[in-house]
Amino acid sequence: MRLKIGDFARIAQVTVQTLRHYDDLGLLPPAEVDALSGYRYYLLDQLPRLHRILALKDLGFSLEQISHLLAKDLPLAEVQGMLRLKQGELRQQVQEQLDRLERIEARLRQMENEGCPPKIEVVIKPVEALRVASVRQIIPSYWDEEPVWAALFEAMGQARLTPTGPCLTLYHSGEPDIDIEVCAPVPLTAAGAGEMQVRTLPRVDMMASTLHRGPFTGLAETFGELLAWVHENGYRVAGPDREVFLRLPEPGASRTDPNAITEMQIPIQRE
């Protein structure tokens, strides 16, 4: 029994446009096309294939993936592999939504407790691997970084290297023994020399990040707010925190320049 495309669409509860689209992709060609009128005719026997297409689409597969899954002689193991990949993808999406829900709940609790909006805005983002030249030292206080930076830039000058992006500080440990590593991004071909080493900072999949605008005197408070956010939202610290100097203070004005911009970053993992 031949069915016009409109009748077949009504029985299958899809639109005519959907059937035409599936035909264009080769997913579900009509059983017959009238050579004179161009009318498309379908058979009831084509309903099972359409239902499979719709079922796979409901599972989240793209039409391109569905076309591959419906190919003849596709090994069972490959079909199972695609289903497992989709399963993992959907689980990741669900976890991301649950994480977002927890962040909303944490923000609401904070606003209820403090009676005002959050002092900082935090973004969770991936940070790609970065090739850097660096010098690492133990310093007595956070205001004693300058000689370490001087050592790095002197070594870079001798090696004829210039930073390829914003410089940053890694804090491997805090007070009383402040273990810092001052870093400048460099080309992949750069090599270390003397006190300066050249290495690749690994990619961080989840970096909690916030911006501090103003003099360096306020960095400790902003970092405290960021660290509190990490714990309140169910994360734990997963590596050295970073300060990325997006806009440096004017020379000699690190304690006063209101226009300096520093990005503060903490690698995190779920508790």
Q: What is the DSSP letter of 117?
A: -
pLDDT in tens, 174-207: 888 899 999 999 999 888 888 899 999 999 999 9
Token readout for 111 is 């606003």
- Residue 271's pLDDT is 79
Amino acid in the structure at residue 48: P
Q: Taking the domain 2-69, which CATH number applies?
A: 1.10.1660.10
Residues with Cβ within 8 Å of 79's Cβ and at least 6 positions away in sequence, in order, are 69
- Residue 100's pLDDT is 84
Backbone angles phi, psi at 182, to 5 degrees: -90, 135
Question: Which residue from 218, 221, 156, 216 is spatially nearest to 182, judged by alpha carbons?
Answer: 156
- Residue 62's pLDDT is 93
Domain boundaries defined on the chain: 2-69, 76-118, 123-270
pLDDT in tens, 121-148: 999 999 999 999 999 999 999 889 999 9
- Residue 90's pLDDT is 92
Percent of the chain with pLDDT over 70: 100
Indicate the pTM of the whole model: 0.67
Backbone angles phi, psi at 168, to 5 degrees: -150, 160
Segments of 63-188 assigned E as strands: 123-127, 130-139, 168-173, 178-185
Q: Does pLDDT of 1 surpass 90?
A: no
Q: What is the fold, at CATH topology level, of the domain defined by 123-270?
A: Multidrug-efflux Transporter 1 Regulator Bmrr; Chain A (3.20.80)
Mean pLDDT of 216-239: 93
- Residue 79's pLDDT is 85
Q: To which residue do tokens 């993808």 refer?
A: 89
Average pLDDT over all residues of the chain: 92
